Structure 1
């Protein structure tokens, strides 16, 4: 009986010691990944469990110190791939207490740091994410003064979805959406840049994540005439297939207008010179609402027209999942001042379409279709003072249901100028008749 009692005490001691040891190093650092963008960097610590962490910064030299409690390391930190312009290296340091893993991120310069934990989501496990932002401190080139009469390019912002830590959807063979859409986006950009009078701006050019708000900001700062966000769809079963094109839903549009109205410092940015005028009036809120409403209405009308043209061209090179533009509450489509569309190039969850989307020829055909759709709209509706607007007059073929007033409204010209350009004595036109559209 005494022996059994001693054995039992020994067992409890071992269990207690084991539990204590396990508690001290329950979490393990499995890997470290660095995703570098031009002005920011994301560092991801892959862990076996949810992290219990704290952090602080140091200067001379600049460092960010991260303490992971009850954690141990099995990563060779000297072998981490690092192409960041902000991070020199990641290393271990003496912990403040036993059982804590102290990691030091040596920095090139002071940065804004944002840390947050993410739960396990395929293909990743538990993570601690460190976002480092240089705060846009990269020196901007001074604006080049241009003659007032110089014609401008039509600017198309191209947004490759996901990126970096966010892989997007994953195909049956393990291909990431972020990779495919970047390849298609680059091809679209090449075709835009090869078109006289047009210029492409990409929200990301490599494998890194760009905040959704930042994507719209990049488009706005580039004075984009259109934002195209390119994605690949997915579903829980492999059957669905086909491309689709989406625009902002009216419900989301109205909520975005309300949000913009609350941010008075954004009014000038969104409305140009009018923003400065309305700030000095008693009825600022109502004027801002009216102007933003008009801006949103115009942007959504343009978005619908371009979406229809892009979808029509996509139908010539691939199957369509939706035969008409659809409306949704996508965050990247939310800017009231920039016409925006989201193109789902196909279902990456469908084995056939995953294979197609991986092929260079199919990617090129999809990029051509998107480019053709965009060109069709802007050749017919070139922005004022653009190179496209300086080209010869556009020809319009009259369709069923169209009248002179409808056509004049579409091209933003007067009925009289339309009649004069075509030597029309009355307002009567016929289906199939070709009309010369004078420049506004």
Structure 2
């Protein structure tokens, strides 16, 4: 009997050991690319890492903690001229954790995520570092210059990965060129996704006389859809077709499923000061709102409107993040151009709140592959503009202004471009 229990104990210990070994993470290499005062660090690891990344002071360090991990090779230090950090070294190695420290030269912000490959032994831990002193306009965009930077940078861990970030980025550029050729050779209908804000239990903002935002913006959205569908080369897709709430992520999923070339979100503005008035057109800002009203509005709208994201299930590892950067750059430019065209037309209907396109961190505008604008048709908090929003003639004029701006951008002879169809890759 005692011998039997001893056998069970040995078997249990062996099983536990095998389980722990199976979960071990090998840190096989680290490579990074740099654009101005932004750096992307990519760790090649053998399994999906359980990790945490944080910044500590005294000394100023970025700490990377990976559970049940071991370091494959000796760390090679970055060049002395690197703008963000000086040294990368092992801070602590225990039986359960590997802690790496990056000695910082200046304050940074860090974002991290992991990617899994179809190959169970190939995973990525990606950390994006941005200097807090960097200009707002600076951002990591994968372009030909950054691809060359990725080639020239010395890898921190000297191994020979089978596929490099530079090679993947080059293939991405080649793929973009092919898609552009394919799309320009076809005459496709221009698909416009129209998102009437809020709906169902989410009534949106309220006017001084009780008018609900969800009702008036839906009326304008329907009129806009009718105008778009009257064009032989255009097609409207309503995100919601009645008074019901569409889930946050579902809105962008519906637009993507329809292969939309443009996403228009229609809202009615609101502010504490009931004398504020005028229409506005917004595009995404990575630095926040460009006016006090925009800042206040972004906080309220983000709580109830949608979050966009692109499906990257068929993209490989780091190539996915490179494609996102490429797509985002093209999408932002298209969004800005369309927004300017729409704002110009809105100024002919009535007063505009600002003479320029506004920028705010609306979640609804963050899809990287579909140009997106948000139109605030009027201030529902202003009594006179509340009356306008209830007026069918005003609704028709506002729908016509939005349509005219879109029509001016997508000329009758135009077809969807590669910029608006990067998701086809």
Scaled by the length of structure 2, the TM-score of the pair is 0.48
More RCO (CA 8 Å, sep 6+): 2
TM-score (norm. length: structure 1): 0.47
Computing the radius of gyration over CA atoms, which structure comes out larger, 1 or 2? 1
